[in-house]
Amino acid sequence: MILPYLNYCNLVWGSTYKTNLQRIVILQKRVIRMVNKSYYNAHTEPIFKKLNLLKFLDIHLMHLGHLMFSFKNAILPRKFENIFTINNQIHRYNTRHANSFCLPLCRTNIRKFSVFFQGPKFFNSLT
């Protein structure tokens, strides 16, 4: 019952300070304990694994990865063609990170929490 609320616009509001997300994470853990009929202070890690569910942070990373994979393979609509740049579009040198995404410059934390910074940062960390 709570999963659609965790998925809805997760790319937009999922990248923020941990303190802003703490109430949602605690609520998800509380619901998992109720579904599993566990004690109120039981560890949730084994419960998530047993029920094959993702934690909130993992849901957010899944959405980020899906967006970046769709961009890399040109599955997104044409409107999104130029939102990210790859290093080999900037220079033609054969470097180690030529096929990685270029991280945009960010002066504020608001920009660092946006999809335009978090997406390339996460996708580059996978390689």
Confidence label for 90 from pLDDT (cuts 50, 70 and 90): confident
pTM: 0.85
Asked if the model's pLDDT at residue 127 lies above 80, the reply is no
pLDDT at 126: 87
Q: Structural domain tally of the chain? A: 1
Range of the domain at 31: 3-126
Rg (CA), the chain: 18
Residue whose C-alpha is closest to residue 36's, from 44, 109, 54: 44
Q: What is the pLDDT of residues 40-74, one digit of tens each?
A: 889 999 999 999 999 999 999 999 999 999 998 98
